Amino acid sequence: MTDELAAEVRDALAVDAEGFNDRALADADVVKDELAAGTFDNHQAIIGLEYEFYAVADGRWAASNDGDVYGLMRVPRRLLEHVGFEKELGLHNAEMTTNPQPLNASGLHAQESEVRAQLRAALQCTSAEGIRLVSDGLWTIPPAGETAEEYLTNSVDDDGVRIATNMSGSVRYHAMANGPRVPDTVMLDAPHVSLPADTVMPESLISSIQPHFQVAHAADLPTYFNYALRIAGPLLALGVNSPFFPPDLYDDVGAQQILADGHAENRIHVFESVLNTADAEKVRFPQDLNTVEDAVDRVADDATIVPMPVPRGDRFDDNFATLRRKHGTYWRWIRPVFDGASRSSANARIEFRPLPAQPTVRDSMAFQATFAGLMKSLPRREHPVVNQSWSTARENFYAAMRSGLDSRQRWICNDGVETIDQEAIYDDIFAHAIDGLTASGCSKSTAETYVEPLRHRVKTQMTPASWKVTQVRDHLTDGTDFATAVAEMQRAYIKEQRETLLDESFLAWE
């Protein structure tokens, strides 16, 4: 199996990079011609969601009296296919993608129902195998009998091709670790964590939700995109959910130093440090857009990591298949997408990537609905926050990564005056989210129901990350060592989620 995969990786890496880039540039011209022709325009906004999970031992594989309870589990590929989920980077990862729906009351309901239906069926199937899917930002308990460092760094060399032992058998993933732009050693770098690895496997620590918003008129995409940059910090501050790494990855500095210097959303560190290189900053907070054509050019001009062969089929977007392939490694925290299986389904959309996976489905839907409502309302109302400087929007994002709701976000309210008053900021944000949802056909009560889990986080000053930190601090106060405190916190998180994932929200965890 390894020999066959390594051979496929060699074939992929043999593709001429210059020719690949030339084809991507030609594809960009195709997309721009279709944009000018109105092919990517639609009569309404469309929403979608990507939702990532990781798997843990539950039931017959979990010994109730040892430290491996809810340890990470590899998901059999046949099981993943059976439950209709897609493979992600690590063997423990699984991803659900919803069918796109119109942004209206029925479309939002359909999104939520689809997530619940797919996830309920998946949980039933995986439970029979002693596995549970977890919605979380970053796993902390490694597989039984392994350290996190071993799981993330184990690899074999097959005649010069490095194959990560616990990475999904995807040529693209393994080619990413062997391309000419990838250094021999990548470094996971975060406060008091520095893990060298010879593949990109450490990226599999993290899981996310990614709401999509398809714009009605493609030429307007830059306006929506620039608003999305301004809401990234405030929404991330509400959603932070990865304050801890597996304890064996930390330097020997002591629990109190880790807590003092720790960040609320380490998922940002993982993605940026593992996938950025000295000459290719692939993961970053993107610049404002001026025109929709600029969005296409950014993808085409982005540094090529994996110049893989791209088959051309009969789909509409096969006319720019190389550009689509290149987009797969265009890792920005907010990014534009152009695709569609047919001319009638061709679309231009925004993929919003700052958010970690959340404690419950309702929390995830709260973010999807709030994001969609803001995308609907802010441009329509010509909200003045779009005039906030890009540098401030970027600092908001990284401040939220560091400190969550304590990050002193800066926002421009309707009066055009910038404020750091948290109550004023979120009152304005939630009011516009509700405005966008009601303008899309939701009743006021339905819109309020979607937003309520996030409003409650502001009221209580409790995010998933701060809940985790409180749990760990309490265990440390009781005399527990740091590694055990993190493990106990993680078990408590999963136990709470077992009772609330499908039908309740994070509100019920208090």
Compute φ and ψ for 171, nearest 5 degrees: -60, -40
How is 406-427 classified by DSSP, letter by letter? GS---EE-TTS-EE--HHHHHH
Report the alpha-carbon distance of residue 325 to residue 333 in Å, rounded: 18
Whole-number pLDDT of residue 62: 53
Report the alpha-carbon distance of residue 456 to residue 443 in Å, rounded: 20
Question: String of b and e for 444-480 (b: at least 16 CB within 10 Å)?
Answer: eebbbbbbbbbbebbeeebbbbbbbbebbeebbeeeb
**Structural domains in the chain plus CATH codes:** 2-509 (3.30.590.20)
pLDDT in tens, 15-37: 888 999 999 999 999 999 999 99
Whole-number pLDDT of residue 82: 84
Q: How far is CA 106 from the centre of its chain?
A: 25
H helices present in 164-289, as ranges: 171-176, 221-239, 255-261, 266-275
Are 418 and 386 in contact by the 8 Å Cβ rule? The answer is no
**What single-letter DSSP state applies at residue 166?**
T
Q: What percentage of the chain reaches a pLDDT higher than 70?
A: 98
Whole-number pLDDT of residue 308: 81
Instruction: For residue 168, give every residue at least 6 positions away whose Cβ sits within 8 Å of its Cβ, in sequence order, or none.
Output: 87, 88, 89, 90, 91, 93
pLDDT in tens, 278-298: 888 999 999 999 999 999 999
Q: In a 10 Å sphere around its CB, with 0-12 CB exposed, 13-18 middle and 19+ buried, how is residue 150 labelled?
A: middle
252: β partners? none
Tokens of 153: 């760094």
Whole-number pLDDT of residue 61: 55
Tokens of 377: 């309302």
Whole-number pLDDT of residue 73: 95
H or E element at residue 477 = helix 464-477
- Report helix, strand or coil for 430: helix
Report the alpha-carbon distance of residue 408 to residue 237 in Å, rounded: 9
Angle, to 10 degrees, between the axis of helix 422-439 and the axis of helix 221-239? 130
Which own/partner contact pairs does 121-128 have at CB distance under 8 Å and 24+ positions apart?
121/83, 121/84, 122/83, 122/84, 122/85, 122/94, 122/96, 123/501, 123/502, 125/79, 125/82, 125/83, 126/55, 126/75, 126/79, 126/83, 127/58, 127/59
Report the alpha-carbon distance of residue 112 to residue 417 in Å, rounded: 36
How is 326-393 classified by DSSP, letter by letter? HHTT--BSEEEEEE-SSGGG-EEEEEE--PBP-SSHHHHHHHHHHHHHHHHHHHHHT-GGGGS-HHHH
Report the alpha-carbon distance of residue 132 to residue 497 in Å, rounded: 11
Cα end-to-end span (Å), the chain: 48
The pLDDT tens digits along the chain (510 residues) read: 578 888 888 888 888 889 999 999 999 999 999 999 999 999 899 999 999 999 999 976 555 445 568 999 999 988 888 888 988 889 999 999 999 999 999 999 999 999 999 999 999 999 999 999 999 999 999 999 999 999 999 999 888 889 999 999 888 888 887 877 777 889 999 999 999 999 999 999 999 999 999 999 999 999 999 999 999 999 999 999 999 999 999 999 999 999 999 999 999 999 999 999 888 899 999 999 999 999 999 999 999 887 888 888 899 999 999 999 999 999 999 999 999 999 999 999 999 999 999 999 999 999 999 999 999 999 999 999 999 999 999 999 999 999 999 999 999 998 899 999 999 999 999 999 999 999 999 999 999 999 999 999 999 999 999 999 999 999 999 999 999 999 999 999 999 999 999 999 999 997
Nearest to 339 by CA among 89, 107, 48: 48
H or E element at residue 284 = none
Report the alpha-carbon distance of residue 430 to residue 452 in Å, rounded: 9
Are 386 and 378 in contact by the 8 Å Cβ rule? The answer is yes
Cβ atoms within 10 A of the Cβ of 391, count? 8
Residue type, 181: R
Report the alpha-carbon distance of residue 95 to residue 342 in Å, rounded: 24
